[in-house]
Structure 1
Protein backbone atom coordinates (compact mmCIF):
# COMPACT_ATOMS: atom_id res chain seq x y z
CA UNK A 1 0.00 0.00 0.00
CA UNK A 2 1.34 3.42 -0.99
CA UNK A 3 0.79 6.16 1.61
CA UNK A 4 1.34 9.87 0.97
CA UNK A 5 1.51 12.22 3.95
CA UNK A 6 0.96 15.93 3.28
CA UNK A 7 1.54 19.00 5.45
CA UNK A 8 2.54 22.58 4.61
CA UNK A 9 6.34 22.73 4.36
CA UNK A 10 7.24 19.03 4.60
CA UNK A 11 9.52 19.70 7.55
CA UNK A 12 8.05 18.05 10.66
CA UNK A 13 4.65 16.37 10.48
CA UNK A 14 4.64 14.61 7.13
CA UNK A 15 8.33 13.56 7.27
CA UNK A 16 7.67 12.12 10.74
CA UNK A 17 4.76 10.11 9.35
CA UNK A 18 6.90 8.94 6.43
CA UNK A 19 9.63 7.82 8.86
CA UNK A 20 7.11 5.90 10.97
CA UNK A 21 5.65 3.94 8.06
CA UNK A 22 8.39 3.67 5.44
CA UNK A 23 9.88 0.43 6.79
CA UNK A 24 6.65 -1.39 7.56
CA UNK A 25 5.98 -4.54 5.60
CA UNK A 26 3.48 -4.00 2.81
CA UNK A 27 3.72 -0.21 3.01
CA UNK A 28 5.62 2.37 1.00
CA UNK A 29 5.41 5.88 2.45
CA UNK A 30 6.32 9.28 1.05
CA UNK A 31 5.72 12.83 2.23
CA UNK A 32 5.31 16.23 0.61
CA UNK A 33 4.17 19.77 1.34
CA UNK A 34 1.63 22.13 -0.19
CA UNK A 35 3.67 25.33 0.18
CA UNK A 36 6.08 26.64 -2.49
CA UNK A 37 8.81 26.54 0.20
CA UNK A 38 8.20 22.84 0.97
CA UNK A 39 11.24 20.58 1.11
CA UNK A 40 9.43 18.18 -1.25
CA UNK A 41 6.47 19.74 -3.06
CA UNK A 42 3.34 17.69 -3.66
CA UNK A 43 2.70 17.01 -7.33
CA UNK A 44 0.28 15.12 -9.55
CA UNK A 45 2.59 12.12 -9.88
CA UNK A 46 2.78 11.65 -6.09
CA UNK A 47 -1.00 11.85 -5.74
CA UNK A 48 -1.51 9.33 -8.53
CA UNK A 49 1.07 7.01 -6.92
CA UNK A 50 -0.67 7.00 -3.53
CA UNK A 51 -3.38 4.54 -2.55
CA UNK A 52 -4.30 6.81 0.37
CA UNK A 53 -3.38 10.45 0.97
CA UNK A 54 -3.20 11.62 4.58
CA UNK A 55 -3.52 15.40 4.97
CA UNK A 56 -2.47 16.80 8.33
CA UNK A 57 -5.17 19.53 8.28
CA UNK A 58 -8.34 20.38 6.31
CA UNK A 59 -6.51 23.21 4.55
CA UNK A 60 -4.06 20.69 3.07
CA UNK A 61 -6.88 18.60 1.63
CA UNK A 62 -8.51 21.75 0.24
CA UNK A 63 -5.25 22.79 -1.45
CA UNK A 64 -4.80 19.32 -2.96
CA UNK A 65 -8.35 19.22 -4.34
CA UNK A 66 -8.04 22.78 -5.66
CA UNK A 67 -4.64 22.33 -7.31
CA UNK A 68 -5.08 18.73 -8.50
CA UNK A 69 -8.81 18.26 -9.23
CA UNK A 70 -8.36 15.37 -11.67
CA UNK A 71 -5.86 13.44 -9.57
CA UNK A 72 -7.88 13.83 -6.36
CA UNK A 73 -11.35 13.18 -7.80
CA UNK A 74 -11.25 9.44 -7.09
CA UNK A 75 -8.56 9.45 -4.40
CA UNK A 76 -9.12 8.68 -0.73
CA UNK A 77 -7.88 11.71 1.21
CA UNK A 78 -7.99 11.42 4.99
CA UNK A 79 -7.70 14.53 7.16
CA UNK A 80 -5.80 13.67 10.35
CA UNK A 81 -6.47 16.97 12.19
CA UNK A 82 -2.90 17.20 13.49
CA UNK A 83 -1.91 20.85 14.06
CA UNK A 84 1.52 22.30 13.35
CA UNK A 85 2.53 22.18 17.02
CA UNK A 86 5.34 19.62 16.88
CA UNK A 87 8.94 19.12 15.83
CA UNK A 88 10.24 16.21 13.76
CA UNK A 89 9.82 12.84 15.56
CA UNK A 90 8.24 14.47 18.64
CA UNK A 91 6.81 11.70 20.87
CA UNK A 92 3.33 13.26 20.97
CA UNK A 93 3.37 13.69 17.20
CA UNK A 94 4.32 10.04 16.68
CA UNK A 95 1.52 8.92 18.98
CA UNK A 96 -1.00 11.21 17.30
CA UNK A 97 -0.05 10.00 13.81
CA UNK A 98 -0.09 6.30 14.68
CA UNK A 99 -3.43 6.59 16.50
CA UNK A 100 -5.00 8.46 13.58
CA UNK A 101 -3.55 6.34 10.76
CA UNK A 102 -3.83 2.82 12.23
CA UNK A 103 -7.56 2.36 11.52
CA UNK A 104 -6.83 2.79 7.80
CA UNK A 105 -4.16 0.08 7.82
CA UNK A 106 -6.26 -2.79 9.17
CA UNK A 107 -5.31 -6.05 7.52
CA UNK A 108 -1.72 -5.09 6.73
Structure 2
Protein backbone atom coordinates (compact mmCIF):
# COMPACT_ATOMS: atom_id res chain seq x y z
CA UNK A 1 0.00 0.00 0.00
CA UNK A 2 1.30 3.46 -0.94
CA UNK A 3 0.92 6.27 1.60
CA UNK A 4 1.42 9.92 0.74
CA UNK A 5 1.87 12.41 3.59
CA UNK A 6 1.40 16.11 2.87
CA UNK A 7 2.11 19.22 4.91
CA UNK A 8 3.06 22.77 3.97
CA UNK A 9 6.85 22.90 3.54
CA UNK A 10 7.68 19.20 3.74
CA UNK A 11 10.17 19.88 6.50
CA UNK A 12 8.86 18.38 9.74
CA UNK A 13 5.46 16.72 9.83
CA UNK A 14 5.21 14.86 6.54
CA UNK A 15 8.89 13.78 6.45
CA UNK A 16 8.47 12.42 9.98
CA UNK A 17 5.48 10.38 8.82
CA UNK A 18 7.37 9.18 5.74
CA UNK A 19 10.27 8.08 7.93
CA UNK A 20 8.01 6.18 10.32
CA UNK A 21 5.88 4.39 7.72
CA UNK A 22 8.72 3.57 5.33
CA UNK A 23 9.77 0.97 7.91
CA UNK A 24 6.42 -0.82 8.05
CA UNK A 25 6.10 -4.09 6.13
CA UNK A 26 3.95 -3.94 2.98
CA UNK A 27 3.85 -0.12 3.05
CA UNK A 28 5.62 2.46 0.92
CA UNK A 29 5.62 6.08 2.03
CA UNK A 30 6.35 9.43 0.42
CA UNK A 31 6.02 12.97 1.65
CA UNK A 32 5.52 16.31 -0.04
CA UNK A 33 4.48 19.87 0.64
CA UNK A 34 2.10 22.34 -0.96
CA UNK A 35 4.23 25.48 -0.65
CA UNK A 36 6.48 26.65 -3.45
CA UNK A 37 9.22 26.69 -0.83
CA UNK A 38 8.57 23.04 0.08
CA UNK A 39 11.55 20.74 0.27
CA UNK A 40 9.62 18.49 -2.15
CA UNK A 41 6.53 19.91 -3.87
CA UNK A 42 3.56 17.57 -4.37
CA UNK A 43 2.85 16.67 -8.00
CA UNK A 44 0.35 14.66 -10.03
CA UNK A 45 2.60 11.60 -10.03
CA UNK A 46 2.52 11.55 -6.21
CA UNK A 47 -1.27 11.67 -6.19
CA UNK A 48 -1.51 8.95 -8.85
CA UNK A 49 0.95 6.76 -6.91
CA UNK A 50 -0.84 7.02 -3.55
CA UNK A 51 -3.47 4.62 -2.30
CA UNK A 52 -4.17 6.84 0.72
CA UNK A 53 -3.27 10.51 1.08
CA UNK A 54 -2.83 11.86 4.60
CA UNK A 55 -2.78 15.63 5.00
CA UNK A 56 -1.93 17.49 8.17
CA UNK A 57 -4.53 20.29 7.83
CA UNK A 58 -7.70 21.13 5.90
CA UNK A 59 -5.82 23.69 3.77
CA UNK A 60 -3.70 20.83 2.38
CA UNK A 61 -6.86 18.91 1.44
CA UNK A 62 -8.30 21.97 -0.34
CA UNK A 63 -5.04 22.48 -2.25
CA UNK A 64 -4.99 18.87 -3.46
CA UNK A 65 -8.64 18.95 -4.57
CA UNK A 66 -8.02 22.23 -6.44
CA UNK A 67 -4.74 21.27 -8.13
CA UNK A 68 -5.26 17.55 -8.70
CA UNK A 69 -9.01 17.10 -9.16
CA UNK A 70 -8.39 14.89 -12.22
CA UNK A 71 -6.02 12.58 -10.32
CA UNK A 72 -7.80 12.37 -6.97
CA UNK A 73 -10.75 10.28 -8.18
CA UNK A 74 -12.04 8.01 -5.43
CA UNK A 75 -8.79 8.01 -3.45
CA UNK A 76 -9.04 8.13 0.30
CA UNK A 77 -7.85 11.51 1.59
CA UNK A 78 -7.63 11.86 5.35
CA UNK A 79 -7.11 15.06 7.34
CA UNK A 80 -5.02 14.32 10.45
CA UNK A 81 -5.50 17.76 12.09
CA UNK A 82 -1.88 17.98 13.24
CA UNK A 83 -0.73 21.59 13.73
CA UNK A 84 2.66 22.84 12.59
CA UNK A 85 4.01 22.84 16.16
CA UNK A 86 6.58 20.05 15.98
CA UNK A 87 10.15 19.52 14.83
CA UNK A 88 11.24 16.59 12.67
CA UNK A 89 10.93 13.27 14.56
CA UNK A 90 9.55 14.95 17.70
CA UNK A 91 8.42 12.21 20.09
CA UNK A 92 4.93 13.73 20.54
CA UNK A 93 4.53 14.12 16.77
CA UNK A 94 5.43 10.46 16.24
CA UNK A 95 2.84 9.34 18.79
CA UNK A 96 0.16 11.61 17.30
CA UNK A 97 0.90 10.34 13.79
CA UNK A 98 0.76 6.71 14.84
CA UNK A 99 -2.52 7.21 16.69
CA UNK A 100 -4.09 9.05 13.75
CA UNK A 101 -2.73 6.95 10.87
CA UNK A 102 -2.70 3.37 12.16
CA UNK A 103 -6.50 3.15 12.38
CA UNK A 104 -6.67 3.65 8.58
CA UNK A 105 -4.20 0.89 7.72
CA UNK A 106 -5.03 -2.75 7.05
CA UNK A 107 -4.36 -5.01 10.02
Contact map agreement 1:65 1:73 (CA 8 A) in 2: no
- Post-superposition Cα deviations, 1:6-52, rounded to whole Å, max 9, x if no partner, equal 00000000000000000110000000000000001000000000000
Alignment root-mean-square deviation, CA: 0.6
Aligned residue in 2 for 1:61: 61
TM-score (norm 1): 0.97
Instruction: Give the structure 2 partner of residue 20 of structure 1.
Output: 20
Q: Return the offset for 1:75.
A: 1.4
What residue is the counterpart of 1:92 in the other structure? Answer: 92
Gaps of 5+ in 2: none
User: Are positions 1:2 and 2:2 aligned together?
Assistant: yes
Q: Mind listing any 5+ residue stretches in structure 1 that lack a counterpart?
A: none
How many pairs are equivalent?
Answer: 107
SS in 2 for 1:4: strand
- 1:29 maps onto 2:29 in alignment: yes
TM-score of the pair, normalised by structure 2: 0.98
Quote the Cα distance in structure 2 between the aligned partners of 1:95 and 1:19: 13
Instruction: Kindly state the Cα deviation for residue 73 of structure 1 after the two structures are TM-superposed.
Output: 2.8
SS of 1:105's equivalent?
A: coil
What are the superposed Cα offsets for residues 27-85 of structure 1, whole Å, 9 maximum, x if unpaired?
00000000000001000000000000000000000000011111113211000000000
